[in-house]
């Protein structure tokens, strides 16, 4: 299955995306610090299951243009109307992972008429106290060492985040995407910690699938969300890491496609 690439005009300049398949349109929003590459293994699988899968680089990540300020989560959400205009669609299934899940919730909150269904995995559904603590964290360094040790340091950081269980392939892409994002790589997480996720979640009207995996650091938050919104269909997978979407694309895409194409 061929993956095509393109650009759409967005609120902060050009939006880069990767696409595969025909059928039910699903826009995929990645975690930080990643890009549309996160969904690359899943795109052909989704396409084979009747999905038109479109993975978008959020502004400032991958090959999308970088905003001139740190966007709010609602501003990140504003890329969806731009993508719908580009795709000549009125509605779409919006699917997000981690930061992308927060953005997907913001889309459902701000543009409910544009969302046919919502798919979330690893929602940063922290308490307000937890958000405040995380918002006070420092930004990572982007300095480049003459001996290349900066790459090793980042590799070890992502390797430890995956508890040594994430694949070398996805760890490699994490390091690349981190440096591609440059000095503004922190924008996405800043938007997460400043987002009123509670109002966004409360407002969701679209049929929603909540996916979680027990090896993901946001599994406790997903469980909390499933209690707050018991009407969300909840699917929990045993094991995996926060890189599950990439490392077990077959299982993940099966859940997404089944829900997205369900009549």
The whole-model pTM stands at 0.97
For 4-137+185-261, CATH gives 3.40.50.1820
* Residue with the two structure tokens 């992308």: 100
Are the CB atoms for 120 and 210 separated by under 8 Å? yes
| 220-225, long-range: CB < 8 A, 24+ apart | 221/122, 221/123, 221/124, 221/125, 221/126, 222/121, 222/122, 222/123, 222/125, 224/125, 225/120, 225/123, 225/125, 225/201
Distance, CA of 176 to CA of 173 (rounded, Å): 5
For residue 33, cis peptide bond before it (omega within 30 degrees of 0): yes
Distance, CA of 130 to CA of 128 (rounded, Å): 5
**Domain limits of the chain?**
4-137+185-261
pLDDT at residue 136, rounded to an integer: 80
What string of pLDDT tens digits covers the 263 residues of the chain? 799 999 999 999 999 999 999 999 999 999 999 999 999 999 999 999 999 999 999 999 999 999 999 999 999 999 999 999 999 999 999 999 999 999 999 999 999 999 999 999 999 999 999 999 998 876 766 788 999 999 999 999 989 999 999 999 999 999 999 999 999 999 999 999 999 999 999 999 999 999 999 999 999 999 999 999 999 999 999 999 999 999 999 999 999 999 999 99
């Amino acid at each position: 299955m061929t993956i095509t690439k393109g650009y759409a005009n967005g609120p902060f300049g050009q939006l880069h995306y990767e696409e595969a398949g025909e059928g039910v349109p699903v826009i995929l929003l990645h975690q930080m610090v990643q890009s549309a590459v996160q969904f690359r293994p899943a795109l052909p699988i989704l396409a084979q299951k009747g999905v038109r899968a479109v993975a978008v680089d959020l502004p400032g990540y991958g090959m999308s243009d970088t905003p001139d300020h740190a966007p709010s989560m609602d501003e990140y959400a504003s890329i969806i109307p731009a993508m719908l205009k580009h795709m000549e669609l009125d509605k779409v299934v919006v699917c997000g992972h981690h930061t992308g899940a927060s953005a997907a919730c913001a889309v459902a909150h701000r543009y409910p008429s544009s969302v046919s269904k919502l798919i979330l995995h690893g929602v940063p559904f922290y308490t307000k106290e937890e958000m405040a603590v995380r918002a006070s964290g420092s930004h990572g360094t982007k300095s480049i060492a003459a001996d290349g040790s900066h790459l090793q340091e980042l590799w070890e950081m992502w390797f430890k985040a995956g508890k040594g269980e994430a694949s070398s392939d996805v760890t490699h892409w994490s390091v690349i995407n981190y440096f591609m994002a440059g000095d503004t790589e922190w924008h996405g997480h800043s938007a997460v910690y400043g987002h009123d996720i509670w109002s966004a979640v409360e407002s969701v009207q679209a049929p929603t699938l909540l996916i979680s995996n027990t090896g993901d650091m946001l599994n406790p938050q997903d469980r909390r969300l499933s209690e707050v919104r018991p009407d969300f269909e909840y699917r929990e997978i045993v094991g995996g890491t926060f890189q599950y979407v990439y490392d077990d694309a077959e299982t993940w895409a099966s859940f997404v496609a089944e829900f997205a194409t369900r009549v």
